[in-house]
Structure 1
């Protein structure tokens, strides 16, 4: 069931889809943004007044960080291995970050185009610690589209 127009969503459930595989165990997504350059045009008007106009420029590429609890799933490691060894034809993919509502229906989809993993960071390993071990995958993308 879709949210009524006046209700906002709660970011409690989301996942990543890449190559038809959905990873729903992701606990945090940061860095999703659409951004573009700003071009400043400085000119004199017909009346001699100096003005600065701001014009839209090229779209910027971005990075998104995906955090999840460490599990036996090695999909992050397999993906970054291809990019580390220069196999960009198989490393570069299109992915979608999906936000789900309370009933599990997708309410928003953020498509990241021509993305590939830049880094994989494992959380701090500390003897005697009882916190959840995490892994953070930083993915760079060329474009983002909202579906």
Structure 2
């Protein structure tokens, strides 16, 4: 009997974020929010000889929107260390640690990586190390980094959100 494959979408709360590789030692702890990936294409208009009533349009340069990662403030310094690499570049002209590969992995119901987005040539363009504090609030203190990148690849590793979890009726 063939395996029945579910077409259910992956859950958006089952994800992991890695710096440089998808090995467990590169896992970034406690990331609780990742802004979406998006891009847009500039539209280039030009006039065509003999056609004075309308313009032709062709695709131009692609712009990739920055990605924001948020997490509760912890003793882990991965956000701070990466953000400081930009500061070191600005002040000392040192490129070491400035650019990283960022991997965002969606996980299936078993916790295994099913879909992986690999962002290339990433660097931190914004760092919010301390949110507004209030003694009247009991929320978690959140730190954020905003990451610029030069595109991504998309790799599907799983065949569905729940492989073989359901049987089809006869």
Query: Which TM-score applies when normalising by structure 1?
Result: 0.83
The structure carrying a bigger strand percent of its residues is 1
Structure with higher Rg: it is 2
In the alignment, the residues of structure 1 paired with residue 109 and residue 133 of structure 2 have an alpha-carbon distance, to the nearest angstrom, of 33
In the alignment, the residues of structure 2 paired with residue 100 and residue 52 of structure 1 have an alpha-carbon distance, to the nearest angstrom, of 46
- Runs (4 or more) in structure 1 with deviation over 4 Å come to none
In the alignment, the residues of structure 1 paired with residue 85 and residue 100 of structure 2 have an alpha-carbon distance, to the nearest angstrom, of 11
Question: Cα distance, 1:24 vs. partner?
Answer: 4.6
What's the secondary structure of 1:110's corresponding residue? strand
In the alignment, the residues of structure 1 paired with residue 154 and residue 84 of structure 2 have an alpha-carbon distance, to the nearest angstrom, of 28
Alignment check: 8 A CA contact 1:40 1:53 kept? yes
2:64 equivalent in structure 1: 61
1:95 equivalent in structure 2: 102
User: Size of the alignment, in residue pairs?
Assistant: 142
1:144 is matched with which residue: 149, 152, 157? Answer: 152
Question: Cα distance, 1:49 vs. partner?
Answer: 7.3
Matched, 1:22 2:23: no
Structure 2: stretches of 5+ with no match in the other structure: 156-170
Across the aligned residues of Structure 1 and Structure 2, the Cα RMSD in angstroms comes to 2.1
Matched, 1:34 2:12: no
Structure 1: stretches of 5+ with no match in the other structure: none
Question: Cα distance, 1:108 vs. partner?
Answer: 1.8
Question: Cα distance, 1:23 vs. partner?
Answer: 1.6
